Amino acid sequence: MTVPEIERVAVIGCGTMGSGVAEVLARAGLEVHVLVSSAPSERAGRGRLGKSLDRAVRKNKLTESDRAAIVDRIRFTTELGALEDRQLVVEAIGEDDAAKTALLRDLSKVLRDPDAIVATTTSAIPIVRLARVTDRPGQVVGMHFFNPAPVLPLVELIGSVLTTDETMARADHFVTDVLGKQVIESPDRAGFVVNALLFPYLLSAIRMVGDGTATPEVIDRAMVKGCAHPMGPLALADLIGLDTTVAIADAMYEEFKQPLYAPPPLLSRMVEGGLLGKKSGRGFYDYSENGSR
């Protein structure tokens, strides 16, 4: 018997990644449930989505009427039970091992469809660790989008040692044919493929700021103008979020014990000081109203 196409989808969390993934799903014509923890989280999530959609309209990637239809397809809820009929749930909360484990354990009890897939956008936690706490370890995958998710075409798909081939094939078909993204399959190793290459570069740039080699502005200009990168490494770290950057670096350092993955002291101190990058208004750059960005 063939498993039905995935049509009923949900995203958990509406932060930087969750709002981007919700937008991608809704833009693909799907009705999306978005589970948030509170009314303020919903307000913030709606704000993020609105800003991104406005930008897409400004860039002529979206018409005003498409924008309205996309917003209409997104339903917010604070009740986990509202996800019971979903065929795919993409978990996109912060990189907190205990929080993700507890959430996925509860989620798997709620899902009624025995074929439902649980996907996680984690960049830092082994997929198998999250899969094991669910009632369906064979149907848990990593679905790693890149920020900003509505713009960047790649998705890394990660199967754990417990994921079934059928789940991988369904997830691949969904991401490729329904979402229109490009898939690469990555092993369940810290950093997968992209971050294992990207992070040593970002962390080196932060070390260069820390040791006074050059300012963020100079380093970023060097890479944008000298290497044609769309943005420099410090602006990119701010976009990713410096707390997320530390979490990913920590995970890779723990797994491989190589100094090139160790979070530089400047990065750790900035996070401890609440400077989390674009999302908090300040990181290597100032994003406040009076700031330079």
Binding site for ligand 3HC (CB under 6 A): 52, 55-56, 59, 61, 123, 146-148, 150-152, 195, 198, 230-231, 236, 240, 244
Token digits for 197? 């290459």
The reply, when asked if residue 123 is annotated as ligand binding, is yes
Longest dimension (CA), the chain: 63
Nearer to ligand 3HC, 66 or 84 (CB): 66
Amino acid, single-letter form, for residue 14: C
Q: d(Cα 102, Cα 23) in Å, to the nearest integer?
A: 25
- Cβ 97 vs Cβ 65: under 8 Å: no
Closest distance to ligand 3HC from the beta carbon of 130 (Å) = 16
Closest distance to ligand 3HC from the beta carbon of 191 (Å) = 9
Could you tell me which residues are beta bridge partners of residue 35?
A: 12, 77
| Burial class of residue 220 in the structure, from the number of CB atoms within 10 Å of its CB (0-12 exposed, 13-18 middle, 19+ buried) | buried
Nearer to ligand 3HC, 4 or 153 (CB): 153
Q: d(Cα 177, Cα 164) in Å, to the nearest integer?
A: 20
Active site residues: 123, 144, 156, 195
Q: d(Cα 278, Cα 206) in Å, to the nearest integer?
A: 16
Q: Please tell me what DSSP assigns to residue 238.
A: H
The reply, when asked if residue 288 is annotated as ligand binding, is no
Query: Strand 140-145 to strand 154-159: parallel, antiparallel, or no bridges (unpaired)?
Result: antiparallel
Closest distance to ligand 3HC from the beta carbon of 245 (Å) = 7
Nearer to ligand 3HC, 55 or 132 (CB): 55
User: How many CB atoms are located within 10 Å of the residue 219 CB?
Assistant: 21
Nearer to ligand 3HC, 12 or 111 (CB): 12
Nearer to ligand 3HC, 4 or 187 (CB): 187
Closest distance to ligand 3HC from the beta carbon of 56 (Å) = 3
The reply, when asked if residue 52 is annotated as ligand binding, is yes
Closest distance to ligand 3HC from the beta carbon of 151 (Å) = 4
Token digits for 276? 């989390």
Sequence ranges of the binding site for CoA:
52, 59, 123
